[in-house]
Structure 1
Amino acid sequence: MDNPLSPILQALHDMPSAFSGVRGKTRRTAAPGFSAEGSLALDALAVEVRKLGPLAQPLDAASAQALHAACAPAPYGRRERTQVDKTVRDTGQIDAHALTLHWRKGALPRLLADAASRLGLGPLQAHAHKLLVYGPGQFFKPHQDTEKHPGMVATLVLVWPSAHIGGTLQVRHGDAQAQFASQHLQAGGLRWFAFYADCRHEVLPVSEGWRVVLTLDLVLQPTALDAAPPQARAPVVEALTRLFAPSADTRPWMFLLEHEYTEHGLRWGLLKGEDRLHVQALRAAAQALGLRMHLALAEIHESWTAVQRPGRRGRAEAPEADELIDEGMVLDFWVDADDQPQRGRTLAVPLDRAEGFADTGERYLVDEEYEGYMGNYGETLDFWYRRAALVLQTPAAAEASRFVTDFDAALADALALARRPGSGVALGRLLAAAMPALQSACRAQGRALFQACAELACAVPAAAQARSLCEGFAWAALQSEDAPALARLEACRGTDWVLALLQEAWAPVPRATWWRHSDAGSPAPTFWPAPLPAFLAACDAAGTTPALRAAMVAHGLALLVRADAPVGNASPRERQGLLAARLAAVCELVQALQPWTQSATSLQLQLLGHVAKHPSLYPLRALTALWKLLPRGRAAAPEIDSLREAARQALKQALGRAEPGADDHSLGAFEIEWTCRCADCSPVIRWAASASAQPLALAMAEQRRTHVQLRLEAAAAPIAATTLREGSPYKLVLSKPKDLPARRARQRATWQQALADL
């Protein structure tokens, strides 16, 4: 039993002259009118061929053979290429520029009107294309005509009277087929056959004689569908009303057209056959309901599991689709209600909202791909289909779609609406539908959208929606020019609202940050807009409150403290690798917390306490940049003097150690933090502390050599390691720096300068 049609398809089905032979929910025989045929009087047309003269009526065998000799081999198109292949197309052709057509007065207009009427089209124009001559055995395998002129919708074949047998023209549209048998011995007139350009057709081999045909491209002149809009049909309006009712699904709904269209041919006035009737009916109903409408081209993708069944003699046959894995549909070309093409980003749409009378099958197939067994998943077959569709949407849904297909224009329109007094409710409805696309764009574009989203957030009534607009940004990515937008948010939504956004969405306190960036070449993490003092100054100038600026500094300090927390898990190499970045972050906070006075604030004391608490992270002998920012003498708080004195004593102690002699190559001056003292590492530690300049060679298996090398790297020891691949096991050869005295001198000079700075 056939499945019932949906209410909309049923309403279209019941229209006069709509369909015949419905065979299921989405399948039917092709609509009558995809082809037409007729005849003309012999004197309706005379044709002259350059260098050969007029064509006789009828054409005798000798003249036909001479005509064939003057022909060039006819090529055919294969995707972007045009080529000659007589296994596909074997016929001769004479181009239109070598032909002169003499139509009897009124004959061509009557022919075109007749063809247009039978094909269900508007006014047509004809462009001569080729004169084709098929001799015995010649043919043209199934193919589809290309669009040679803007607005080309059909092909007209006019058979010249010439005795022949065979050469039947077979035309298919969907499941339907039409045949045009032109064989005859005595012709009393000219016969013609017209068919839509998206029909697949072929010319069967000629058995005897010569088949001579003139082909013409039929071009439809675009006409405005609204010139005489039909009255909306009540059943169609009722079906659309139910589909787009407030409680129903408001996603786009698509009516899949039956004919094929290119980007040049998809226009309201160029629709073919019953596509035109159906779109007129749906368009009239959509206008009555205030729906937005577009024509669109869709790509439908299906992914299937594939099976290869054994064929003859055990050979595997071509893979077959077995079970559907996934399917999807995207729209990538639109024509708006004013017939203007609108190309933008692709819009994914739900397949369950697409309906039509023709199944998406082989006739719409444009590509397929087979992928064999890959280990993690089995064999797959992927198919890509191309369909044209009428897309209907509610106004809000259409505007939301624009945030995907034409984001910049949609955002500009939303901002214009936000600046219009009293538009908050309308803006809120629009942004509610567009929120997923907006948030996706924020993730992709980052702070470039912050100012726009902040403006929208100030215009919508609901605080929750305003937060959704703003939460997709990173505080650390903001720049000084974003300060006015931040000030507007605070003025509109309040300090607590902005702080909650900062702490929960923009810059939540992480568990660990520094140690993920310790490898050479990895950028140091940023916790706040850099440089922070300049950002805070811009916020002050923009009008943010002192409370918000103080809270931002406090949050920055909390981020730094939390990032420094897992110090026990970091190796000396990791700590040293990011010392400069950590110290720069501390210095930014010092500048942000100015002025520093003798009565230090709680945040200032917290920062100083953190530095003092972690000497392995902030070595006292390496804080020169910090001392240059902190006040001295009476202006300094006691905590500053205490930390400065501790640093002075550490430097004096280091400089107080006796300098090693020139023949002393010990590495003690570098205070290496050894991370392992196992049986393999202990000899290395003793050798490093010794005065010997000789390399150390350790015969070890590969796993032990690797362990020692990794421990040396973790300790940041200035020792070079190579493997001597001689004997068994190979030897790990360790060498001290050749410029060791110069390194020690540079280190001592750095300490002396730091002490002088103190």
Structure 2
Amino acid sequence: MARDRLAELLDASAAPAASSVYRKLAKSEMSVVVDGIGRLRFPVPDEQAVQLRGLGRRARFGRGEQTLTDPEVRDSWEIPKELVCVEWTDAFVTVLDDMRQELGLPPHCGLTPELHSMLLYETGQFFVAHQDSEKDDAMVATLVVTLPSAHTGGELVVEHQGQTRKYRGLKNALSLVALYADCRHQVLPVKTGNRVTLTYNLLLTGNSQDAAAGHPLVGDLAACLRTHFTTPVVLPYSHRRGDPPTRLAYLLDHEYTARGLSWSRLKGSDASRAALVRAAAEQAGCEITLALAEIQETWDAYDPDEDEDAWYGDDEDEEPDEEDSGSADDRQYVLQDLIETLTTLAHWISPETGLLVDISLDLSDAEVASTTPTADRTPYSSEYEGYMGNYGNTLDRWYRRAALVIWPRNQGFASRAEASPGWALDELTAMARAGKIAEAHEAARSLESFWHAAGRYTDQTELLRQALEAARELDDAQIAAMLLRPFALERLTPGHGLAFARLAAHYGDTWTDALLHDWAASWRPGSYGLAQAPLDWFENLPRLCTALSAEGSASVTAARRIVDLSWTMIAGQVGPALDGPLTSRHSAWLTSLGASCAGIIAAAAQLGSTGVLQDAHRLARTAGDRAHVLTMATLRAAATHQAGFGDLAVICAERLRTWLAQPQRVPGDWSIELPTGCACELCEVLGTFLRHPERRALDWPLAKDKRRHVHTRIDDAELPVRHETRRQGRPYTLVLTKTEALFERERLARERHEADLAWLTDSWKAST
């Protein structure tokens, strides 16, 4: 494949650069003076180490945006650098240049050292494996200078791309180690004596990019790009061919932070390879940018020390080992087959501004190439999932890598739009306003194949604002519908009112109705417990309708259609669920819908949507306790929405008066009605027992499956009946006992009904 050939060519293009380098200098090439102590002697004597300890404070470390102290992570002493004065001879300049060359940075670049800290490691102290943060935009590496001292242990261990190097301090010479900032490294515990170090931030001066236009490999790389972008892809799990790839992401070897990603500060072989690919992209008629990628690999793996019996659930109650979750040190697991790779671009450098911008773009395997396999790198996080019955064992690893992202210049708009929909919408609006209507239409049509996924990981409220603006400026009903179709109706806010109203007036009722229907298509009535987003949106529907109503008749029509769609969804959701007994689960669910129903009914009242109001009244009159719970929750949520709710209050009050007029249960009446739902022989016996006003207990020999069925009927209806199994004889005996909760529930229900009726009479004037 062309992308593999490109990776092979880049692999051979440059000698491998070191990720860490070591030099030593005579102790006479440096002097260190510390305020309050004076000039340090080499090797550093114990008495001066004690004085340094007196000046020090616990060394800190970074974790995300935080700066922390934790002796279990970093156990050492940091001497304030303002107390430290360091002088070097000219030999230090020569050593830095040698290190630059061995790190793979070109001759026209330089490394400038900036003192960061002075550290003292006493016996037993250490620093666990970590990566250095970039303290300056120009920082590319760290320099660790270990001062001469008579200590053992305390080795600096540097790991990168699966290779580990260990560096020891010296008794009578300076030990210097430069390492790229993305290298994981640690300081092993000091065994004897004291380890004293100076750490420097190495800042890159100059541009690490080489000029590669005349390099003999550029033509071959350009040919690879042309072939890649013109060869159809073999679709996964089939022999069919799809369209050629629209982009290529070549993963670089080093890791970069958002702060450190720059063409001018690429590390080692990344710089020379990037220069070659940039020249090849230009020759092949492609655009290119730098990006940051998140990669997740899922491996078929196993723990060789895992007890095989545990795979089958024998130890299912045991807690998992600490290292089985979230640890990046997963080398104890044996990898077998790579199951899946997910590569997502999260940021890239804008071709116009040169600034890093947020994007979100998932790449297929056919769009990714690399010289160094991701599996050879150290993951920043991993998680092992043991055998789970129908899947496992798997090991998930997460990595961060930089990437060169290339796409054909004639596909530039679509390639960038898929990564950043907001940018695309702003560009379309700008083109249309500049009078480039035909160009804007062509660019918009190039989005159609992927635009259905627009905004999955972005702020859809802002993206919808941009889409509404672009849809109006483009002045094409079909394109406008395509741009707006990916959104959900609940993304429409009062702030969108003016723009949406203008669209509705411009494109007409038929177009608007079709768009609203598409937006509401994600609402699937009948699934228990609708997602919270539309429910919250229904609650605030009156504000949206107010905003729309102010913009003319077309938008009023649209607002009524929105209310109708909203009520259709709610009615379809709750209508079939209003039959049956009222359980605590149903009561909680129906109560949670009260504010949503109130919002829709209030909006319907202000728009004069009589159909919605009449259907709400019909639902409220549905027999049973469930309808009453929903209606009361709606009324309580509508305390400030008087219009449209008076008839609902009357319906509730009438129902309550009817219930309260019924005679109360007399003491000794133990009759319970079994809800309908099953007419089997078991339920017939159960129903007969429950309805009997005097029988409180039933001993019922039943097999296991039959006992389970009876348990389920009782528990699902939350009946005040205790069920236990007496494990004697065959079959075991199911013992059913009616409980005192029967009378307590009825007492509490009557008190609640009386309170609700008083509230309706007082707040809604729902008198007879």
Cα contact 1:94–1:131 (8 A) shared by 2: yes
Q: 1:12 aligns with which of 10, 24, 27?
A: 10
Tell me what 1:125 maps to: 112
Alpha carbons of 1:97 and 1:351: their partners in 2 closer, same or farther (altered >3 Å)?
Answer: farther
- How many residues align structurally? 650
Instruction: Supply the distance in 2 between the matched residues of 1:130 and 1:553 (Cα, whole angstroms).
Output: 63
Q: 2:406 aligns with which of 392, 396, 414?
A: 392
- Are positions 1:356 and 2:354 aligned together? no
Cα contact 2:452–2:486 (8 A) shared by 1: no
The secondary structure found in structure 2 opposite 1:6 is helix
Tell me what 1:243 maps to: 228
The secondary structure found in structure 2 opposite 1:223 is coil
Matches within 5 A, 1:698-717: 699=696
Tell me what 1:284 maps to: 279
Q: 2:261 aligns with which of 250, 262, 266?
A: 266
Q: 1:100 aligns with which of 86, 108, 114?
A: 86
For residue 308 of structure 1, what is the amino acid of its counterpart?
Answer: D
Q: 1:433 aligns with which of 434, 447, 462?
A: 447
The secondary structure found in structure 2 opposite 1:303 is strand
- Are positions 1:422 and 2:442 aligned together? no
Instruction: Supply the distance in 2 between the matched residues of 1:169 and 1:664 (Cα, whole angstroms).
Output: 86
For residue 730 of structure 1, what is the amino acid of its counterpart?
Answer: K
Instruction: Supply the distance in 2 between the matched residues of 1:283 and 1:102 (Cα, whole angstroms).
Output: 40
For residue 116 of structure 1, what is the amino acid of its counterpart?
Answer: R
Instruction: Supply the distance in 1 between the matched residues of 2:310 and 2:490 (Cα, whole angstroms).
Output: 62
Can you list the C-alpha shifts for 1:213-238, whole angstroms capped at 9, x where unaligned?
A: 87654321253859x78557322333
Can you list the C-alpha shifts for 1:224-255, whole angstroms capped at 9, x where unaligned?
A: 859x7855732233322333459764444222
Tell me what 1:255 maps to: 250
Shift of 1:358: 1.7
TM-score where L is the length of structure 1? 0.60
Cα contact 1:439–1:469 (8 A) shared by 2: no
Matches within 5 A, 1:538-553: 541=552
Alpha carbons of 1:433 and 1:210: their partners in 2 closer, same or farther (altered >3 Å)?
Answer: same
Instruction: Supply the distance in 2 between the matched residues of 1:440 and 1:704 (Cα, whole angstroms).
Output: 50
Tell me what 1:639 maps to: none
Q: 1:370 aligns with which of 369, 384, 404?
A: 384
Alpha carbons of 1:339 and 1:278: their partners in 2 closer, same or farther (altered >3 Å)?
Answer: farther
Q: Identify the range of structure 1 (442-451 vs 235-244) with the bigger mean alpha-carbon deviation.
A: 442-451
Shift of 1:347: 3.7
Can you list the C-alpha shifts for 1:556-596, whole angstroms capped at 9, x where unaligned?
A: 7996999699889956999x9999999999999899789xx
For residue 296 of structure 1, what is the amino acid of its counterpart?
Answer: A
- Are positions 1:152 and 2:173 aligned together? no
Cα contact 2:20–2:178 (8 A) shared by 1: yes
Can you list the C-alpha shifts for 1:99-150, whole angstroms capped at 9, x where unaligned?
A: 431525xx44444334334433211212356788999x99989966624642
Alpha carbons of 1:53 and 1:404: their partners in 2 closer, same or farther (altered >3 Å)?
Answer: same
The secondary structure found in structure 2 opposite 1:299 is strand
For residue 113 of structure 2, what is the amino acid of its counterpart?
Answer: A
Alpha carbons of 1:236 and 1:74: their partners in 2 closer, same or farther (altered >3 Å)?
Answer: farther
Cα contact 1:143–1:201 (8 A) shared by 2: yes
Instruction: Supply the distance in 2 between the matched residues of 1:85 and 1:533 (Cα, whole angstroms).
Output: 58
For residue 293 of structure 1, what is the amino acid of its counterpart?
Answer: I
Q: 1:309 aligns with which of 289, 304, 325?
A: 304
Alpha carbons of 1:9 and 1:74: their partners in 2 closer, same or farther (altered >3 Å)?
Answer: farther
Instruction: Supply the distance in 2 between the matched residues of 1:476 and 1:208 (Cα, whole angstroms).
Output: 66
Q: CA RMSD for the aligned pairs?
A: 7.1
Tell me what 1:597 maps to: none
- Are positions 1:219 and 2:203 aligned together? yes
Shift of 1:258: 1.8
- Report which of the two structures shows the higher radius of gyration computed on alpha carbons: 1
Name structure 1 gaps, 5 residues minimum.
20-30, 595-603, 623-646, 668-672, 688-695, 714-720
Instruction: Supply the distance in 2 between the matched residues of 1:402 and 1:266 (Cα, whole angstroms).
Output: 19
Name structure 2 gaps, 5 residues minimum.
233-242, 312-330, 629-646, 667-672, 700-708, 724-734
Q: 2:480 aligns with which of 466, 469, 479?
A: 466
Alpha carbons of 1:171 and 1:8: their partners in 2 closer, same or farther (altered >3 Å)?
Answer: same
Alpha carbons of 1:549 and 1:315: their partners in 2 closer, same or farther (altered >3 Å)?
Answer: closer
Instruction: Supply the distance in 1 between the matched residues of 2:125 and 2:663 (Cα, whole angstroms).
Output: 96
Cα contact 1:167–1:183 (8 A) shared by 2: no
Shift of 1:353: 2.5
The secondary structure found in structure 1 opposite 2:87 is strand
For residue 292 of structure 2, what is the amino acid of its counterpart?
Answer: L
Instruction: Supply the distance in 1 between the matched residues of 2:620 and 2:519 (Cα, whole angstroms).
Output: 30
Cα contact 1:424–1:461 (8 A) shared by 2: no
Cα contact 1:91–1:140 (8 A) shared by 2: no
For residue 124 of structure 1, what is the amino acid of its counterpart?
Answer: L
Shift of 1:302: 2.0
Instruction: Supply the distance in 2 between the matched residues of 1:119 and 1:342 (Cα, whole angstroms).
Output: 26
Cα contact 1:724–1:730 (8 A) shared by 2: yes
Shift of 1:275: 1.2
The secondary structure found in structure 2 opposite 1:262 is coil
Cα contact 1:517–1:524 (8 A) shared by 2: no
The secondary structure found in structure 2 opposite 1:344 is strand
Instruction: Supply the distance in 2 between the matched residues of 1:612 and 1:173 (Cα, whole angstroms).
Output: 70
- Are positions 1:730 and 2:738 aligned together? yes
Instruction: Supply the distance in 1 between the matched residues of 2:620 and 2:167 (Cα, whole angstroms).
Output: 95
Alpha carbons of 1:235 and 1:336: their partners in 2 closer, same or farther (altered >3 Å)?
Answer: same
Tell me what 2:634 maps to: none
Matches within 5 A, 1:314-325: 318-325=332-339
Q: 1:505 aligns with which of 518, 530, 551?
A: 518
Alpha carbons of 1:303 and 1:754: their partners in 2 closer, same or farther (altered >3 Å)?
Answer: closer
Instruction: Supply the distance in 2 between the matched residues of 1:312 and 1:610 (Cα, whole angstroms).
Output: 62
Instruction: Supply the distance in 1 between the matched residues of 2:38 and 2:595 (Cα, whole angstroms).
Output: 90
Instruction: Supply the distance in 2 between the matched residues of 1:741 and 1:206 (Cα, whole angstroms).
Output: 75
The secondary structure found in structure 2 opposite 1:259 is coil
Instruction: Supply the distance in 2 between the matched residues of 1:53 and 1:558 (Cα, whole angstroms).
Output: 82
Tell me what 1:299 maps to: 294
The secondary structure found in structure 2 opposite 1:466 is helix
Tell me what 2:731 maps to: none
Cα contact 2:125–2:189 (8 A) shared by 1: yes
For residue 268 of structure 2, what is the amino acid of its counterpart?
Answer: G
* Identity in percent: 24
Shift of 1:505: 2.5
Can you list the C-alpha shifts for 1:594-647, whole angstroms capped at 9, x where unaligned?
A: 9xxxxxxxxx9x9999999999769xxx9xxxxxxxxxxxxxxxxxxxxxxxx9
Shift of 1:281: 1.8
The secondary structure found in structure 2 opposite 1:364 is coil
Instruction: Supply the distance in 2 between the matched residues of 1:374 and 1:102 (Cα, whole angstroms).
Output: 61
Instruction: Supply the distance in 2 between the matched residues of 1:609 and 1:132 (Cα, whole angstroms).
Output: 78
For residue 96 of structure 2, what is the amino acid of its counterpart?
Answer: L
Alpha carbons of 1:395 and 1:414: their partners in 2 closer, same or farther (altered >3 Å)?
Answer: farther
Cα contact 1:120–1:272 (8 A) shared by 2: yes
Alpha carbons of 1:315 and 1:48: their partners in 2 closer, same or farther (altered >3 Å)?
Answer: same
